[in-house]
Amino acid sequence: MKSNILEWAYKYGALFVIGFVIVFFSLWDEHFFTYDNLSDILRSISIVTFVAIGITFSLAVDGFDLSVGSTVSLTTVLAATLMVWHEQPLIVVIAVPLLAGALIGMLNALLIVKIRIPDLLATLAVMYIISGIHRTYTKGYSIYNNMQMSDGTNAPGVFQESFLWLGQGQLFGIPVPVVLMVLAVILVHLFFTFTKWGRQMYITGGNEEAARLSGIRVRRIRLAAYMASGVFAAIGGLLFAARTGTGQIDAGAPLLMESVAAVFVGYSVFGAGKPNVIGTFFGAVLIGVLLNGLTMMRVPYYTNDIIKGSVLVLALAVTFIHLHRRRA
């Protein structure tokens, strides 16, 4: 009986908590459960979800990517400077940050796969390198329309309306970032479930040596996973710039913890017991609902890290307790 209750709590506990907090905040404030507020929540978690999907890829191959936050910051200021400093067309504004994200993923894979530095240490080092690069590139300044340059002149460009539409626009009455997020979740779920590469990522993460002996090109799979992690973090950076209309140098700093929490909450959704994009999405929803509801309750913003850290600890505790029970 006790075992069945624990199993049910593991599979559906995260969904129950999401439902509970939605009901609680709805009773607390009548404006919580409205279309406008729920749209704001989904719009806000779209960026976290993209970054968390990247982390999901790295965890699927039994790795971990700590550099996603810095990647978001770099790609945010890259997109901003391409418009404000260099007046580049939209295709360049989008393509260059995505390429930068892929290159960061390749750098991570090189350090991990070729040089054999442990994932956490390699991506931690890259995190600091990328943070230093984007701060040096912008000289520590955030980027905004017609900003004053160091030589006293004003930057010639502004954020393009077509770019801002990606973060602020609507498609059939639904915020564009929400549409992109749902499409990404569906496509990545199909990739992991039905494609050879997706299944090989899970096999590699489960037992790398067994995967190698079965003929899977493990190095190539891990390279692909880290490149995907960088690209999805870059998409998060693009959406951040499009939503705020600025290139903030610390854009990605708070996103790492939120994304990691979302991924580990997702381990328990429907009893998956592994990184999965559907669970990651529900984890992001939980984080978004909590932060939005606490803001409506006028809880001081500086307590948010306590909440996010607590959610992460709880998610890790539930996940690893269940894994230890399975092994026992």
- In angstroms, the CA 62 to CA 203 distance is 10
What's the pLDDT tens digit per position in 182-216? Answer: 999 999 999 999 999 999 999 999 888 899 988 99
- Looking at the DSSP bridge assignments, the partners of residue 247 are 143
Q: Please report the pLDDT score of residue 306 as a whole number.
A: 84
At residue 271, does pLDDT exceed 70? no
Q: Please report the pLDDT score of residue 261 as a whole number.
A: 87
Domain 2-327: give its CATH code. 1.10.3470
Q: Can you give the residue ranges of every domain in the chain? A: 2-327
At residue 322, does pLDDT exceed 90? no
Q: What is the mean pLDDT of residues 254-277?
A: 82
Length of the chain: 328
What's the pLDDT tens digit per position in 107-116? Answer: 999 999 999 9
What's the pLDDT tens digit per position in 4-55? Answer: 666 666 677 778 888 888 898 898 888 888 888 989 899 989 999 999 999 9
- Looking at the DSSP bridge assignments, the partners of residue 175 are 170
pLDDT band for 323, please (50, 70, 90 cuts): low
Higher local confidence (pLDDT), 300 or 113 = 113
Number of H helices, E strands in the chain: 13, 2
What's the pLDDT tens digit per position in 88-104? Answer: 999 999 999 999 999 99
- In angstroms, the CA 11 to CA 293 distance is 24
Alpha helices in 61-89 (DSSP H): 68-84
In the 8-state DSSP scheme, what is residue 303? G
Task: Give the least confident one: 40-54, 62-76, 145-159.
Answer: 145-159
